[in-house]
């Protein structure tokens, strides 16, 4: 009773509602009433209710204890860590430090049809539009708790728009850099692809310190648009990355996404996808590597709203030490959504007795002419294969690495774009090397 009450008075441990309201007043754009009202509405959505806990469908396998009781505060803009090298040499690059776009560190696209706006730009020019963008948070997971939390305090955000027919030549790399012990950071990324446009997007999360990143992203694909999107989590090993993404996929459009979870103490990634037009396709694949006490959690919820849409998911993970993985994939086929093709596969390699994977597929099918499948496996390295390799001269570590790489490569091969695939392969190889060096 007492705890419940104090929870209502305090949004974060030791941080009162009055503190929260005061911060909202100071945020960029709050001088516009439309924006301030949205922020207040968002704040109201997360107050007066407990945090999600293990009773929530989405947090069954993941504890939020460390966050709800730890000392965390939203940050004012601070200095970020060093900017990392670009993943792809020829990419346009947007650098976001602690949630705010830093033009001085960015190389903005100079291609006709690509428009980059920050939320604070938008607030100045069209506060109503900014308010609409901020106020449109996905309510799918826990009534949108963490998405609303972001909307309440996000100081800035990115809006990437491609005009109809614009096919971006170079990839766009968005680097979210976070820092600060106990800092809560609110990245926001909105991508809107006009009819028949195409973009290759790399989203990277890196940082230093015991921060908590609470992100929101949306991807709206108009008819025939194509988005290749790799999301790479390389956060600090003491950091938490929770994110909610909403995908709206139009007719004959294709979202081709890949989630690579490498860093962070805890990552919890929620994707809500709606296939809204016939011929639409959602590819959501991923790989996770965990060691120490890392926790990687991926939740997907894909709805086939109309006939003749496809979804495809392959998630593969390698977990060592006491790492914990979670994969929850839900596929919903709405009544009338005939000729749906929905496939989901989750495979995990457990390198230690204490590593753990929880996988929960869920199919809800309300149409009869559909092809849907799911599968999940978890196992150890094949001992016979290990011996075979060692009998050919490969040292134990080398043989293991080869088998682990082969296992993960299977997921990475889902990435259609060769440049992106190569870049991610290199990241994975480096992470596995580090993991091995650390483990021995």
Partner 1 sequence: MLEIKDLHVRVEGRDILKGIDLTIDPGQVHAIMGPNGAGKSTLSNILSGREGYEVVKGSVLYKGQDLLALEPDERAAAGIFLAFQYPVEIPGVGAMTFLKTALNAIRTRRGEGELDAMQFLKFVREKARALNIDDEMLKRAVNVGFSGGEKKRFEILQMAVLEPDFTILDEIDSGLDIDALRIVAEGVNALRTPQRAMLVITHYQRLLDYITPDFVHVLADGRIVRSGGKELALELEEKGYGEFIKGRAA
Give buried/exposed letters for 383-394 (b at 16+ CB in 10 A, else e).
eeebeebeeeeb
User: How far is Cα 96 from Cα 117, in angstroms, rounded to an integer?
Assistant: 12
Nearer to partner 1, 130 or 404 (CB): 404
Could you say whether residue 84 binds partner 1 (CB under 8 A)? no
Nearest Cα neighbor of 193 from 249, 235, 142, 237 is: 249
Under rule CB under 8 A, residue 388 binds partner 1: yes
Residues 6+ apart with CB under 8 A from 100: 77, 118, 120, 155, 156
Is residue 125 involved in binding partner 1 (CB under 8 A)?
A: no
Residues 28 and 90: their CA atoms lie apart, in Å, by: 32
Report the nearest approach of partner 1 to the CB of residue 384 (Å).
5
| Residue 341 vs 410, nearer CB to partner 1 | 410
- Cβ closest to partner 1, residue 337 vs residue 432: 432
Residues in 404-423 at the binding interface with partner 1, rule: CB under 8 A = 405-407, 409-410
Q: How far is the CB of 407 from partner 1 (least distance, A)?
A: 6
Phi, psi of 53 (to 5 degrees): -135, -165
Residue 114 to residue 233: CA distance in whole angstroms? 25
Residue in this structure with the two tokens 């204490």, named with its chain if needed: 354
Distance of closest approach, residue 382 Cβ to partner 1, in angstroms: 8
For partner 1, give the closer residue by CB, 158 or 399.
Answer: 399
CA–CA separation, 418 and 439 (whole Å): 31
Q: CB-wise, 403 or 420, nearer to partner 1? A: 403
3-state helix, strand and coil shares in percent for the chain, rounded to the nearest 5: 25, 40, 35
Binding-site residue total for partner 1 (CB under 8 A)?
23
Residues 27-66 touching partner 1, rule: CB under 8 A, are: none
Sequence-ordered alpha helix ranges (H) in 111-269: 119-125, 127-135, 145-153
Site for partner 1 in 368-387 (CB under 8 A): 382-385, 387
Q: Which of 85, 392, 418, 437 binds partner 1 (CB under 8 A)?
A: 392
Options 63, 69, 398, 433; binder of partner 1; rule CB under 8 A:
398
Q: Which residue from 79, 391, 437, 440 is in contact with partner 1, where contact means CB under 8 A? A: 391
Q: Which of 31, 169, 364, 396 binds partner 1 (CB under 8 A)?
A: 396
Using rule CB under 8 A, residue 426 touches partner 1? no
CB-wise, 123 or 389, nearer to partner 1? 389
**Residue placing its CB nearer to partner 1 in the complex, 112 or 392:** 392
- Indicate which single residue of 394, 417, 419, 425 sits in contact with partner 1 (rule: CB under 8 A): 394
Distance CA 303, CA 300 (A): 10
**Nearer to partner 1 by C-beta: 366 or 388?**
388
Quick one: which of 41, 312, 334, 390 contacts partner 1 (CB under 8 A)?
390
Strands laid side by side in the 172-179 sheet: 100-101, 92-97, 172-179, 198-208, 226-234, 254-261, 281-290, 310-319, 340-350, 370-379
Query: In the complex, what is the shortest distance from the CB of residue 401 to partner 1, in angstroms, rounded to a whole number?
Result: 10
Q: Which of 191, 212, 270, 255 is nearest to 69 (CA)?
A: 212
Q: How far is CA 429 from the centre of its chain?
A: 21
Any contact of residue 393 with partner 1 (CB under 8 A)? yes
d(CA 207, CA 233): 10
Least distance from partner 1 to the Cβ atom of residue 434, Å: 20
Shorter beta-carbon distance to partner 1: residue 373 or 413? 413
Contacts of 408 (CB under 8 A, 6+ apart): 287, 289, 316, 318, 428, 432
Kindly tell me which of 23 and 399 has the beta carbon lying closer to partner 1. 399
Instruction: Report in angstroms how near the CB of residue 57 gets to partner 1 at its nearest.
Output: 34
Angle at 313 between CA 310 and CA 67, to 5 degrees: 125
- Shortest Å, Cβ 395 to partner 1: 5
Stretch that binds partner 1, among 102-110, 138-146, 286-294, 403-411 (CB under 8 A): 403-411
Task: Give whichever of 5 and 391 is closer to partner 1, judged by the CB atom.
Answer: 391
- SS3 call for 45: helix
Query: Can you name the residues that pair with 74 across neighbouring β-strands?
Result: 184
Which residues are near partner 1 by CB under 8 A?
382-385, 387-396, 398-399, 402-403, 405-407, 409-410
């Amino acid at each position: 009773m007492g705890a419940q009450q104090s929870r209502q008075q305090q949004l974060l441990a030791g941080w009162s509602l009055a503190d929260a309201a005061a911060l909202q007043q100071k945020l960029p754009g709050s001088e516009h009433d439309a924006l301030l009202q949205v922020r207040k509405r968002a704040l109201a959505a997360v107050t007066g209710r407990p945090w999600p806990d293990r009773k929530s469908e989405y947090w069954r396998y993941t504890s939020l204890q460390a966050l709800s009781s730890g000392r965390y505060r939203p940050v004012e803009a601070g200095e970020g860590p060093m900017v990392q090298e670009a993943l792809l040499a020829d990419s346009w690059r947007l650098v976001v430090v602690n949630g705010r776009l830093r033009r001085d560190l960015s190389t903005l696209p100079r291609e006709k049809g690509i428009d980059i706006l920050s939320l604070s730009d938008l607030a100045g020019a069209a506060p109503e539009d900014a308010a609409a963008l901020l106020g449109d948070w996905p309510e799918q997971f826990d009534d949108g708790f963490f998405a609303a939390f972001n909307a309440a305090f996000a100081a800035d955000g990115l809006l990437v728009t491609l005009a109809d027919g614009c096919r971006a030549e170079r990839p766009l790399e968005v680097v979210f850099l976070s820092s600060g012990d106990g800092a809560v950071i609110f990245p926001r990324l909105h991508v809107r692809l006009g009819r028949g446009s195409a973009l290759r997007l790399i989203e990277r999360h890196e940082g230093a310190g015991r921060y908590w990143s609470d992100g929101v992203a949306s991807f709206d694909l108009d008819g025939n648009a194509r988005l290749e999107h790799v999301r790479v989590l390389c956060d600090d090993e003491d950091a938490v990355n929770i994110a909610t993404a909403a995908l709206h996929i139009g007719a004959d459009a294709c979202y081709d996404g890949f989630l690579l979870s490498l860093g962070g103490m805890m990552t919890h990634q929620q994707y809500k996808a709606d296939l809204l037009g016939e011929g639409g396709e959602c590819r959501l694949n991923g790989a996770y590597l965990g060691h120490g006490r890392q926790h990687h959690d991926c939740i997907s919820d894909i709805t086939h709203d109309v006939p003749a849409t496809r979804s495809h998911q392959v998630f593969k993970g390698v977990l060592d030490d006491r790492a914990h993985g979670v994969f929850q994939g839900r596929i919903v086929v709405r009544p009338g959504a005939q000729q749906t093709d929905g496939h989901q596969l989750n495979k995990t390699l457990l390198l230690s007795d204490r590593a753990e994977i929880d996988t929960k597929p869920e199919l809800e099918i309300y149409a009869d002419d559909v092809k849907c499948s799911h599968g999940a496996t978890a196992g150890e390295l094949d001992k016979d294969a290990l011996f075979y390799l060692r009998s050919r001269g490969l040292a134990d570590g080398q043989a293991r690495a080869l088998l682990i790489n082969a296992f993960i490569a299977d997921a990475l091969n889902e990435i259609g774009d060769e440049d992106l695939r190569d870049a991610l392969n290199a990241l994975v190889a480096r992470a596995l090397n580090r993991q091995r060096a650390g483990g021995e």
